[in-house]
Structure 1
C-alpha cells in the first residue's frame, strides 16, 4: 500500500506540465571527482608544490604545532576546512566545474527530485503534520533543495495542508550567498547584528512560491518542530581522528613539522596513548587502521533526539562503508586527488563515512534503515521510471546522451552507484504495525509495518 502511494507521488510530481521534458545535467569527467576512491596512503610529508599558495594557513599551523606540539588529524581538518579567516569552506567556492569537486545534485536533477518524493512520502507516513521543516545540512549550491522544492510545488495539492519552511545549516559565507541566489533569486537578508540566542538565523529569504528560508551555523540553532533532515556529502567533511595499531597498542596519527624542513608538514604516530586513542577505538576492533569521527557521532545523536522527541526523519547520503575500510583520509583539488598536507586551506579534505559508527551512535531511540547503496536507493525510488519519462520527452540526441551518461554516473557500480550509501533515521513508531482491527470482522493476520520508500523496492504495475 505504501509503495502504491509513493508510486502515485512520483506519477503526479513528474507528470506536471513542462516538468517531464525539462532536465538539468552536469558536465563531469567520469574518472575524476571528489567521490573517486583513493588508494591508501602511508605516513607522509607535504610536497613543496603549492606551499606558498596560502601562507597564512600554513603559518598558523606551524605556530600552533610549535606552541602545543603535534596536533591530531581531527584538529588539522577543522583548522584547514573551517578556520574563520583562512578555512577552505569559509573563503573558497569549492563546488562545480570551477571548484574542486562536484556532487550528485549538480550531475542530475533526478537525484534531488527523488529525494523530494522521499520527503513527501515520510511526511505522509507521519500523519501529515501541519508544520513541516525541511532541514539540510551542508546544502552546497542549493541545487538539491531547489529540486526538492520543485517537487513540493508540483505536489502542492498533496502538501497544501502543511506550513512548509526551509532551514539550511551552512558555515560557509560564500556558499550561503550562492544558496540564497539559487533558492530566493537574491542574496537574502543577511543579519547585520550580533547573533541573538532567540533568533540565531544569520540569513533569511523567501522562495518565489513564498516558502521561507533561514540559514544557521549550527544544527542546534534550527527551531524545534517536526522536521525532515537531509545530509548529503556532509559527514565526510567532518574531522576524523586516525589511529594505527602497533606492537605497543593503539597510537594516534598526528600532524607535525618536518624537522628537515620546518616549512613542510608530516604525519607521525604518537609515542604513547592519547585520550582519543584510549576512548574512541572500540574494544575488539579487528582493523589495523581506524578513523573515528566523534563530531559526526554527536550530530547523529542530536538528530536522533530531535526525531524521537519531535517526530520526523533523517536521510544521510555519503560515500562510505559499513565498518570495513581503514585509511580513507584524502584531499581533492581541481577534481583530482591531492596530498592532504600540501597547500592547507587550498584543497578539500575528506574521509569515508563509517555508517556502522553512525548507526551505533544513533542508539535505540530511533529506527535505522540501511545503509543501502545509492544505486539501490535511486532505483527503489523509481529512478529508472523517471529516466524513461525524461528520455521520452527529449528529442535532442546530444541531450539524451548526456542524460543517460549522468544517470549512469549516479547509479553504475563502476562510478557512484556503490560508493555512496544511504542511511535513514525514523521516529520510533514509524515501523510499528498498525493496530489490529477489532469488531465483528477480525483480520487473522496482523497488518505489516509500512515499508519505507527507497529502502524497499518500488514496483510499477
Structure 2
C-alpha cells in the first residue's frame, strides 16, 4: 500500500474533476478559511508565541493552505509555512499557490519552535496491516496478474499512522503547538476490512493495477488518540466534521460570501451542505485535535 500510493502521488495530480477524487478544500474556500481562523484563535489565546510555523501534511495543490493563510493574515498571524510532501507534481502545484513555503520529505525534518500542524485526509492514505480472527497478519499473492489477499479480515491496524501520531505529539509537547487531523473513519474502535481504492471518482478494485489508483483505509481515531495521549499531549474530539464546521461558524461565512456574490448563493450553499450534511461529508469525516501542555483548549470541540 505504501509503495503503490508513493508511486501514485509522485506521477499525477489526482484532485479535481479531471482526477480521481475531490477533497474538502477543493469544494469551498470556507473549509480552509475556518482552519486558518482556528489556528489564529489558538495562537492568540496561547499568548501569541514567536516563531510559530504552520505545517501541513500532504497539502494537495496547496488550496487549503492558501485559504488558511489568508484567514490567518486577517487575524494578525503570519507564520512560517512548512509542507511535508514527497510528490514533485504536487510540490509544483503547491509552489504556485504558496510560493514561500518550505518543503520536507519527512515530518522528522520540521523546524524547532511552536507548530500548528494540519493533516487533512493524510492518515487515511498511510498503509494498514490486516489480521484474521486468530490475530495472524494477512498476506497477498499474485494470481492472474493481480494481487489476491489470503484469508478473511477481522481487524486492521496502521503502525505507520501510530508512529506518525507519536512523532507529532512529541514535537508539539516539546515545542508547543497543536495538531488538527481531519479524516474519515469511526469515532469508536472498528473492525473489518476498510481498504478501498478510488479512480475516476468511483470505487475501484484495490488489488488491481497498483500505483494507478488511490488506496485508503478508515482512520482508527481511538488508536491515534491513545498514541497522542501516551506522549503527553491533550486530545480533543473526535467530532463529526459537520458539527465542527458549524461550531466554527461556516453558516455565517457562507452568508457573508453570498452577500458579496449573490449570483453564487446556490453554489455556496451547496458547498456548505456537501461539507456538513450527515449524508455527505458531515458525519463520516471526523476532526480531532491535540494540544501541548499549557496550551488552551481549541475552538470547535
Among residues 272, 277, 280, which one is paired with 1:412 in the alignment?
Answer: 277
CA contact (8 A) 1:252 1:269 kept: no
- Normalising by structure 1, we get a TM-score of 0.63
1:419-445 CA distance string (max 9 Å, x none): 1100100012235xxxxxxxxxxxxxx
Secondary structure of the residue aligned to 2:20 is coil
Query: Does residue 81 in structure 1 map to residue 5 in structure 2?
Result: yes
Which residue matches 1:343? Answer: 209
Structure 2: give runs of 5+ residues left out of the alignment: none
CA contact (8 A) 2:21 2:199 kept: yes
Q: Which residue of 2 aligns with 1:269?
A: 151
CA distance in 2, matches of 1:230, 1:147: 13
2 CA distance for matches of 1:240 and 1:412?
Answer: 29
Given candidates 199, 208, 211, the residue that maps to 1:333 is 199
- In 2, distance between residues paired with 1:148 and 1:384? 17
3-state SS of paired residue (2:162): helix
Selected match of 1:375 from 242, 246, 267? 242
Shift of 1:392: 2.2
Q: 1:88 and 1:324 mapped to 2: Cα distance?
A: 27
Aligned-residue offset at 1:325: 4.3
Residue of structure 2 in register with 1:113 after alignment: 33
- 1:360 partnered with 2:235: no
Which structure 1 residue ranges, 5 or more long, are not aligned? Answer: 1-76, 185-205, 207-212, 271-287, 432-450, 456-461
Residue 85 of structure 2 corresponds to 170
Deviations 1:237-266 (A, max 9, x none): 000001120xxx2222211112xx3x2321
Q: Give the length in aligned residue pairs.
A: 299
Quote the Cα distance in structure 1 between the aligned partners of 2:155 and 2:278.
25
SS in 2 for 1:353: coil
Separation of aligned partners in 2, 1:153 and 1:308? 25
Q: Is the 2:58–2:85 contact (alpha carbons within 8 Å) kept by the matching residues of 1?
A: yes
Tell me the residue number matched to 1:422: 287
> How far is the alpha carbon of 1:363 from its aligned partner?
2.5
Q: CA deviation at 1:400?
A: 1.5
**2:190, 2:146 → 1: CA distance?**
32
Bigger Rg over Cα? 1
Alignment partners' CA distance in 1, 2:42 and 2:150: 47
Give the Å deviation of 1:352: 0.7
Shift of 1:152: 2.1
TM superposition score normalised by structure 2? 0.96
* Structure 2 match to 1:69: none
**Cα offset, 1:342, TM superposition:** 1.2
Aligned mates of 1:421, 1:221 — CA distance in 2: 27
Q: Which secondary structure state, in structure 2, belongs to the residue aligned with residue 105 of structure 1? A: helix
Alignment of 1:230-249 (within 5 A): 230-245=118-133, 249=134
Q: Deviations over 1:378-432 (max 9, x none)?
A: 0110111111112222221xx221111111000000000001100100012235x
RMSD: 1.4
Q: Report the secondary structure of 1:404's partner residue.
A: helix
Question: Is the contact between residue 289 and residue 298 of structure 2 (CA under 8 Å) also seen in structure 1?
Answer: no
Q: Secondary structure at the match of 1:251?
A: coil
**Which of 222, 244, 265 is residue 400 of structure 1 equivalent to?**
265
Q: 1:332: how far off?
A: 0.3
Q: 2:11 aligns with which of 68, 87, 91?
A: 91
Change in Cα spacing, 1:264 to 1:324, as seen in structure 2 (3 Å) is closer
Match of 1:179 in 2: 94
What does the per-residue CA deviation read over 1:218-237, in whole Å, with 9 as the maximum and x for residues that have no partner? Answer: 00011111110000000000
User: Where in structure 2 are the equivalents of 1:179-258 lying within 5 Å?
Assistant: 179-184=94-99, 206=100, 213-245=101-133, 249-258=134-143
Deviation at 1:179, TM superposition (A): 0.5
